[in-house]
Amino acid sequence: MRLVMTSAEHEQTLLDNLPAGNGTIPDVVDTGESPHMRRDPEIPRLVGMTEAAEMLGVVRQRIWQLIEEDKLPAVMVGRIYVLREQIVLEHKAQMDIERARRDKQD
């Protein structure tokens, strides 16, 4: 059972569970930011392994490797690993730099 969904998968799950004939998600769920539930900038955004793999353009097994090699820090929450989104983005930027260097050498 996969516990992490992409936003597109989440949206599709919501649509699939609407009663027949009911409009779109905005008819049922306000996807905007609630004035009562604002995001605290002090709390980092977290992503699961599947989302991290999608962000980096790699497979989940590669994320496992990076975690095991201490190249990508992660924390286990329950039975899943979560990673700071910002760290994943920084890792992607570093991967892009290294790829550009290799391409330049060839």
- Asked whether residue 64 is assigned to any structural domain, the reply reads yes
- Asked whether residue 1 is assigned to any structural domain, the reply reads no
| Model pTM score | 0.60
DSSP tag of 79: T
DSSP tag of 5: -
The whole domain housing 47 covers 7-105
- Per the structure, the count of domains in the chain is 1
Long-range CB contacts (within 8 A, 24+) of 97-102:
none
Q: How far apart are CA 26 and CA 30, in angstroms?
A: 5
Q: Is the predicted pLDDT of residue 26 greater than 50, yes or no?
A: no
- Asked whether residue 96 is assigned to any structural domain, the reply reads yes
52-97 pLDDT tens trace: 999 999 999 999 999 999 999 999 999 999 999 999 999 999 999 9
Sheet with 46-48, strands from edge to edge, namely: 46-48, 80-84, 75-77
